Amino acid sequence: MPSSARALGCLVLLGLMVFASAASGTSPARTKAGCPTSRAPDANAAAEVVAAAARDVPRLYAQTQYRRFQITALSSLASGTFTPAGVSVYRGIAAHRCGARTAARSWAVFLYFPDLAKSASLSQGVAFAARTPSGWSLWYRFR
């Protein structure tokens, strides 16, 4: 088989694989650095996300002005669950970073940093949490 015919055959096969993946509604697995190997949340997700935030916020927000914090809200990023207005934006950010599957298994953690209360933007934070094989952890600091 000539090399041009072989190359064309490979391109057709690759196109069919991409089409099949898109048609099935799944995306290829991502191995992007910083993305968790996520597991489906369990019935204790909210309490476990709060515990993970208490442990992981000091690591994600290492500067001294972020030492004191309050969790102001939590929300699952799974499609089809009740989410307050505006939370779907965070689902999109999580999906862009690590894929739809990880986003659907993640929670958004909304934070307030009282030592930065004079600044409306600096005093607010958002981090993403996911259940991993070793338990819940915060995997991304959005702001």
> Which pTM was predicted?
0.75
Query: Average pLDDT for residues 112-137, to the nearest whole number?
Result: 95
Q: Name every residue whose Cβ is closer than 8 Å to that of residue 127 and which is 6 or more positions away in sequence.
A: 53, 56, 57, 60, 108, 109, 111, 138, 140, 141, 142
Question: How much is the mean pLDDT over the chain?
Answer: 81
Query: Average pLDDT for residues 69-89, to the nearest whole number?
Result: 91
Residue-wise pLDDT for 17-72, tens only, equals 333 333 333 333 334 778 999 999 999 999 999 999 999 999 999 999 999 999 99
What are the residue boundaries of the structural domains of the chain, listed by start? Answer: 1-30, 45-141
pLDDT, position 28: 36
Structure tokens at 13: 């096969």
